[in-house]
Structure 1
Amino acid sequence: MDLVTFAERLPQDGETVVGERFVTYPGGKGANQAVAVARLGMPAAMVGRVGDDTFGPQLVELLQSAGVDTRGVGITSNASSGIAVISIGEGAQNRIVQVLGANNTCGAAEFDVVAGLLPRASALMLQLEVSVNLSMRVAGLAAQQGVSVMLDPGPVRPIPAEFFASVSIITPNETEAEALVGFPIVDLNAAQAAANELIRRGVGAAVIKMGSQGAYWCDGSTSGHEPAFPVMAVDTVAAGDAFNGALATALATGQSLPDAVRWASAAGAVAVTKIGAQDSMPTFAEVAALAATRSATGSS
């Protein structure tokens, strides 16, 4: 559950600022991405855990109302559900502190649930809000079965070198990419170098999400840059999750990587025009309308 404050500006270290309003809304990177897929008209199943606190039932019910299959969502006793404390300042920029809670208790039971779902899956979408070792194990199983594995490497955590070989496509933002490769992603040249390094480590393709600078993609043989769609941003939280959900659905329906990145960029752009995480995930019609304003992406 996201606990969100809005203020004219974000506080400096040791400073208190008076905010303008406070809201709560359902979030979680995995849950956001599951809702993004469902809103775009594709079947989505969520595997994870919530706590036995007041947020747990709300989070499950909201996933169900969005059309997500929640039979793989368990409940951990004496644990909080995952929460994120989010501060949003001028320009819709944000700072986030996460407490993983019940997410940290995912283990063998969740591995078995994923194993049961993979034969019917076109893609396995992973984030790092559960055990990295668990994610690596299910990624390896999916790769063995020919199921595409999309890794969103957030929140930033160390990733074992052997994980990359099971990843079909990795989608870090600038901060996450910097943590992975060890240098700042300040422009397209840096994004290109980061993508090349991630492919050298074994991933099939890399998409570097760069906010207002758009997205850079590379699959080892071709590459390109998709500029950001110009929109009025009000809340950038979960824009990357909208991007990932749209990217996964586009690739699953046979779109090329450059066209899928264009579609995903449109989804992320629609998301920043709305407040909320799951609430901001766009519909197919919304993404199609914005994507139609731009011709197909070029490659190099």
Structure 2
Amino acid sequence: MASLFGGSVVVVGSCNMDMVTRATRFPSAGEHLIASDFGTYLGGKGANQAFAAARAGASVSMVGRVGSDAFGAQMIAALAEAGIAVDAIAVDHDAPTGNASIWLDASGENRILIFPGANARVSKSDIRKQLGTIGAASVLLVQLEVPVDTIAEACRAARDAGVRVVLNAAPASPLPADLWSLIDVLVVNQTEALALGGDTDPVRSSRVLISKGVGTVVVTLGGAGCVVMSDVNSEPIAIQSFPVRSVVDTTGAGDAFCGALGASLASGASVEEAARVGNAAGSLAVEVLGAIPSMPTYEQIQRRLEGQ
């Protein structure tokens, strides 16, 4: 697909099967509710962001693990069909494909419980086998649903090869001290900003995170857009959100943001420009049920950027 987002992105991350249940509200402890809908969808933050970057027009390779089961075969087939290189996805015969149980209420808000499965076995050895794949990319896009020492190994490989590192610190987990300085762009929501930077305020948390060695921090604010900050003494840059027609499912919004941001950065955009692209992608994602089905195409993002 010809696009302004023509760079290359390698994603190291998780591959899950999402099992999504919808109800009017979340049950209280010990309460039984009748759900209104149920479906299974391919997911995992790694796969979601790989799909998002590919649909935004980037050339994408995926590094991860799936089980030797139907869910794993379905994941590899779907990634390949989307034009994502799958040679670096290992099939694990000792662990099942990861899965996520997702509850959605009537407003589209979610609660998520994840079983890592094969994702927990993505290893430093897996990364060392893919140094050529990582070194050939413009951007390395990583999250924290696979072991953090594996992510650190990938970030070191990217830094050694001169590849830009984008880390989406989700779910929030403690990071090794030597990892912070390897992160060119750190993407966090307010919950993650609190966990890692000690504050939900995007400016205060960004200053803390930059002081740890991060190049640029992007704090996403849901429907309020995001804030970009690159220096502890600089003024924050607020990137406005886009109007949403109807909120159906917020599950994939953050991954749509990160994948589109990564694709835009790979094409040479500034972080501020890429964050605006991410906001447009996130606003489109919440209008569709399911994580991967909600990842917008380049054409949809362009129309949203143009106010259509």
Query: Normalised by the size of structure 2, how large is the TM-score?
Result: 0.91
Q: Partners in 1 of 2:77 and 2:279 — Cα distance?
A: 28
Aligned to 1:111: 127
Give 1:96-175 correspondences, 5 Å limit: 96-175=112-191
**Structure-2 residue corresponding to 1:45:** 61
CA contact 1:47–1:113 (8 Å) conserved in 2: no
Task: Give CA-to-partner distance per residue, 1:163-193, whole Å, 9 cap, x none.
Answer: 110000010111111111223x2xxxx1111
What TM-score do the two structures reach when normalised by structure 1? Answer: 0.93
Aligned match for 1:191, one of 202, 215, 226: 202
Q: Does 1:290 align with 2:304?
A: yes
8 Å contact kept, 1:271–1:282: yes
> 2:241 matched to 1:225?
no
User: d(CA) in 2 for partners of 1:137 and 1:97?
Assistant: 26
Give the Cα–Cα distance (whole angstroms) in 1 for the partners of residues 168 and 194 of structure 2. Answer: 14
* Structure 1 residue 222, shift from structure 2 partner: 5.0
Partner of 2:13 in structure 1?
A: none
1:230 shift after superposition: 1.4
C-alpha deviation, 1:108, in angstroms: 3.6
1:210 is aligned to 2:226: no
Paired residue type of 1:208? V
Point out the structure with the larger helix share: 1
Check the 8 A contact 2:285/2:295 in 1, yes or no.
Answer: yes
2:29: which partner in 1? 13
Return 5+ residue gaps in structure 2 as ranges: 1-16
State how far apart, in whole Å, the 2-side matches of 1:9 and 1:216 are: 31
What whole-Å deviation, never above 9, does each CA across 1:104-156 have from its counterpart, x for those lacking one?
11114321233121231000011111110111111012112211001011122
Q: Distance in 2 between matches of 1:17 and 1:29?
A: 28
Q: Which amino acid letter does the alignment assign opposite residue 226 of structure 1?
A: I
- Which one-letter code corresponds to 1:210 in the other structure? L
The alignment yields a C-alpha RMSD, in angstroms, of 1.3
- Are the aligned partners of 2:135 and 2:157 in contact in 1 as well (CA < 8 Å)? no
Q: 2:83 aligns with which of 67, 90, 109?
A: 67
Moved over 3 A (4+): none
Letter in 2 for 1:21: D
Could you say what secondary structure the match of 1:258 adopts? helix
Q: Distance in 2 between matches of 1:119 and 1:27?
A: 26
Aligned counterparts of 1:7 and 1:82: Cα–Cα separation in 2: 24
Please give the alpha-carbon distance, in whole angstroms, between the structure 2 residues aligned to 1:222 and 1:114: 39
Equivalence for 2:251: 237
Indicate the residue corresponding to 2:3 in structure 1.
none
Worse-matched range after superposition: 143-152 or 217-226: 217-226
Secondary structure of the corresponding residue to residue 154 of structure 1: coil
Deviation, structure 1 residue 11: 1.4
**Partner SS, residue 107 of structure 2:** helix
1:54 corresponds to which residue? 70
- Give 1:217's aligned amino acid: V
Q: Percent identity?
A: 39
Report the equivalent of 1:298: none
Query: How far apart in 2 are the matches of 1:150 and 1:257?
Result: 11
Structure with higher RCO (Cα < 8 A, 6+ apart): 2
SS of the equivalent of 2:171 reads coil
